[in-house]
Amino acid sequence: MKISQAEVRRVATLARVELDDDELESVGRDLNRILDYVAKLDELDTSTVEPTTQVVDFAAPMRTDEVTSKPAPEDAVANAPRSDKNFFVVPSIIE
């Protein structure tokens, strides 16, 4: 599949990228190479490959979900512009 200069110009416009004529030609060649490569990949038989298969084994490390630091309520509101005991005072937004 070949991409035309008009299509390259359209993609550049959608991407909000200004390209002069030389750049349009260069980007067009690059896009055509990418599309040729994708076409080659389409020729591969992937019927036995699971959709979520990864190339490398990857396991996300797990840790227990526990509180490691618990600030005191008075420390939490220490720098607040306004506070009342251990609560932040904010403007009312619902009447």
Scored b (16 or more CB within 10 A) or e, 8-26 reads beeebeeeeeebeeeeeee
| pTM assigned to the model | 0.48
**pLDDT digits 0-9 by tens, 37-51:** 999 988 889 888 878
**pLDDT digits 0-9 by tens, 4-24:** 999 999 999 999 999 999 999
Question: Hey, what domains does the chain have and what are their CATH numbers?
Answer: 5-42 (1.10.20)
Give 81's pLDDT tier (boundaries 50, 70, 90). very high
